Amino acid sequence: MCYFRYAASLCLLTAALAAAADTAWPSVANGFFEHRYSVLDQINTGNVDRLGLVWYFATGSRRGLEATPVMVDGTLYTTGTWSRVYALDARTGRLKWSYDPQVPRRAGAWACCDVVNRGVAVDAGKVFVGTLDGRLIALDAATGKPVWSVQTTPTDRPYTITMAPRVIDGMVLIGNGGAEYAGVRGYLTAYDENDGCQRWRFYTVPGPADDASNPQALARAAKTWPDARWTQLGGGGTVWNTIAYDPRLKLIYFGSGNASPWNRYLRNGGAEDSDDLFSASILAVHADTGRYAWHFQTTPGDAWDYDADGNLVLVDLPIDGRPRPVILQANKNGFFYVLDRRDGTFISANAFVAQNWAAGIDPKTGRPQLAGRPYDDGGRITRPAPYGGHNWQDMSYSPDTGLVYVPAADVPFLYQPEPRFAPLIGAWGTGLDLAAQAAPPGMDPLLLKALVDNAVAGKLVAWDPVRQRAAWTVKQAMPWNGGTLATHGGLVFEGTADGAFRAYDAGTGKLLWDYKLANGIIASPMTYEIEGTQYVAVMMGWGGSFALSGGQAAYVPGRDYRGYLLVFKLGGQATLPPPQPLDSGIPQPPPSTATPLQIAAGNRLYNQYCAVCHGANAISGSAIPDLRYLPNAVRGALDRIVLEGALQNAGMPEFSRQLDARQVAEIDAYLIKRAQETRASLTQPGWWASVKAFFYRLIAPALNWINALRH
Ligand code: CA
Q: Is the pLDDT of residue 276 over 80?
A: yes
Residue 707: phi and psi, rounded to 5, are: -60, -40
Cα–Cα distance, 457 to 411 (Å, whole number): 7
Segment 617-639 mean pLDDT: 90
Q: pLDDT digits over 579-627, tens only?
A: 887 766 788 889 989 999 999 999 999 999 999 999 999 988 888 999 9
Tell me, yes or no, whether 642 lies in a domain.
yes
Rounded to an integer, the average pLDDT of 215-244 is 94
Quote the ligand 1 centre to 243 CA distance (angstroms): 17
Out of 194-203, 322-331, 702-711, pick the least confident: 702-711
| pLDDT over 70 at 4, yes or no | no
Query: How many Å apart are CA 630 and CA 412, to the nearest integer?
Result: 30
What is the per-residue pLDDT for 377? 78
Active site residues: 305
Strand partners, 475: 459
> Cα(126) to centroid of ligand 1, in Å?
31
Q: Give the distance (Å) from ligand 1 centre to CA of residue 258.
A: 5
Q: Kind and range of the H or E element at 168? A: strand 166-168
- Residue 485 pLDDT exceeds 60: yes
- Indicate whether 495 belongs to any domain: no
How does pLDDT run across 465-481, given as a tens digit for each residue? 999 999 999 999 999 99
Q: How far is the CA of 113 from the centre of ligand 1 (A)?
A: 10
Residue 18 pLDDT grade (very low, low, confident, very high; cuts 50, 70, 90): very low
pLDDT of residue 554: 65
Query: If you average pLDDT over residues 518-533, what whole number do you get?
Result: 97
Residues 8, 488: Cα–Cα separation, whole Å:
10
- pLDDT tier, 359 (very low <50, low <70, confident <90, very high otherwise): very high
Q: What is the pLDDT of residue 300?
A: 96
- Integer distance in angstroms from the first to the last C-alpha of the chain? 56
Of 448, 451, 470, nearest in space to 459 by CA:
470
In this prediction, residue 387 carries a pLDDT of 96
Model pLDDT, residue 14: 47
pLDDT (0 to 100) of residue 2: 37
| pLDDT-derived band at 249, boundaries 50, 70, 90 | very high
Phi, psi of 139 (to 5 degrees): -115, 150
Name 372's bridge partners: none
Which of 178-182, 393-397, 680-684 shows the lowest mean pLDDT across its residues? 680-684
Q: Are 495 and 526 in contact (CB under 8 A)?
A: no
DSSP-derived pairing of the beta strands 484-487 and 37-38: parallel
Q: Is the pLDDT of residue 555 over 80?
A: no
Q: Report how far residue 260's alpha carbon sits from residue 231's, in angstroms, rounded to the nearest whole number.
A: 8
Q: Is residue 632 part of a domain?
A: yes
Give the residue among 614, 634, 624 at the shortest CA–CA distance from 674.
Answer: 614
Q: Tell me 339's DSSP state.
A: E
Q: Report the chain's mean pLDDT, rounded to a whole number.
A: 93
How far does residue 631's CA lie from ligand 1's centre (Å)? 34
> Is residue 8's pLDDT more than 50?
no
Note the pLDDT of residue 213.
Answer: 86
492-506 tens-digit pLDDT: 999 999 999 999 999
Residue 628 forms part of a structural domain:
yes
Buried b (16+ CB within 10 A) or exposed e, 80-106: bbbbbbbbbebbebeebbebebebebb
- Examine residue 621 and state whether it is found in any structural domain, yes or no: yes
Average pLDDT value for residue range 676-684: 87
Distance 427 CA to ligand 1 centre (A): 15
Average pLDDT over residues 361-376: 94
Whether 555 is covered by a domain: the verdict is: no
Distance (angstroms) between ligand 1 centre and the Cα of 521 equals 21
- The distance from CA 328 to its chain's CA centroid, rounded to whole angstroms, is 18
User: How much is the pLDDT for 683?
Assistant: 87
Single pTM value for the model = 0.95
621 is in which domain, residue-wise?
A: 596-685
Per the domain annotation, does 420 fall within a domain? no
Tell how far the Cα of 181 is from the centroid of ligand 1, in angstroms.
9
- Name the DSSP letter for residue 562: -
Total domains, the chain: 1
Share of the chain above pLDDT 70, in %: 96
CATH number of the structural domain spanning residue 605: 1.10.760.10
Distance 323 CA to ligand 1 centre (A): 34
CA of 18 to the centre of ligand 1 (A): 43
- The residue-averaged pLDDT of 111-120 equals 95
Ligand 1 centroid–CA 387 distance in Å is 9
pLDDT beyond 80 at 150: yes
Q: State the pairing for strand pair 358-361/368-370.
A: antiparallel
Q: Are 78 and 28 in contact (CB under 8 A)?
A: no
Rg of the chain on CA atoms, in Å = 24
Is the predicted pLDDT of residue 17 greater than 80, yes or no? Answer: no
Residue 127 has pLDDT above 80, yes or no: yes
Distance 177 CA to ligand 1 centre (A): 8
Residues contacting 460, CB < 8 A, separation 6+: 405, 406, 407, 408, 473, 474, 476, 481, 484, 492, 494, 504, 509
Q: Is the pLDDT of residue 53 over 80?
A: yes
Across 189-193, average pLDDT: 98
By the 8 A CB rule, do 432 and 397 touch? no
Q: In one letter, which amino acid is 93?
A: G
Q: Hey, what long-range contacts does 155-160 have (CB within 8 A, 24 or more apart)?
A: 156/426, 157/183, 157/184, 157/234, 157/425, 157/426, 158/110, 158/182, 158/183, 158/184, 158/425, 158/426, 158/427, 159/110, 159/134, 159/184, 160/107, 160/110, 160/111, 160/112, 160/132, 160/133, 160/134
Position 48 scores a pLDDT of 98
The pLDDT value given to residue 30: 98
Distance 257 CA to ligand 1 centre (A): 5
| Position 580 in a domain | no
Per DSSP, helices labelled H in 504-637 are: 544-548, 596-605, 611-614, 632-635
pLDDT bin (cut points 50, 70, 90) of residue 301 is: very high
Q: What pLDDT sits at residue 209?
A: 75
CA–CA gap between residue 69 and residue 538 (Å, rounded): 8
222-226, long-range: CB within 8 Å, 24+ apart, which pairs?
224/274, 224/275, 224/276, 224/277, 225/268, 225/274, 225/276, 225/277, 226/268, 226/269, 226/271, 226/274
Please give the distance, rounded to the nearest whole angstrom, from the Cα atom of residue 627 to the centre of ligand 1.
26
pLDDT for 550: 78
